[in-house]
Amino acid sequence: MATSISKEEVAHVADLAKLSFSDQELEHFTGQLQEIVSMCEKMAEVDTTDVKPTFSVTPNVNHLREDVADNWNQKKALLAQAPEEAADLIKVPAILNGED
């Protein structure tokens, strides 16, 4: 079953996303989306009855160290390099109006 995506559908979704496209861009994106949908439909036709699910293509597992807090005893040296500090924290300029 061939699903078709119309230029109007692409324009509607673009409008919902608050995007503005020219007619040329709409044609381009409609064609791209149609290719993607066609590829998905082709993949859905593949018989995967005897194929085991694959969650990873390698037998590796995450070999990450445990996340352990470490007191690196450099707080004073770090604060000494900061342009401004307050209550043992680095003070940065406010980014919201009316807040210090």
Question: What domain range includes position 32?
Answer: 7-44
Q: What is the CA radius of gyration of the chain?
A: 27
Q: Is residue 59 part of a domain?
A: no
Q: Which pLDDT tens digit goes with each residue over 57-95?
A: 787 777 788 888 888 888 889 999 999 999 999 999 888
In this prediction the pTM is 0.50
- Looking at the DSSP assignment, which residues form a beta bridge with residue 86? 89
Mean pLDDT confidence for 24-48: 95
Q: Which pLDDT tens digit goes with each residue over 24-35?
A: 999 999 999 999
CB–CB of 10/37 below 8 Å? no
CB–CB of 41/35 below 8 Å? no
pLDDT at 1 over 60: no
The per-residue pLDDT for 50 is 93
Q: Is residue 89 part of a domain?
A: no
Amino acid occupying residue 56 = S
Q: Is residue 18 part of a domain?
A: yes
Q: How many domains does the chain have?
A: 1
pLDDT at 56 over 70: yes
Q: Is residue 72 part of a domain?
A: no
Query: What is the spatial distance between Cα 89 and Cα 83, in angstroms, rounded to a whole number?
Result: 11
The per-residue pLDDT for 58 is 80
Longest dimension (CA), the chain: 68
Alpha helices in 52-94 (DSSP H): 75-81
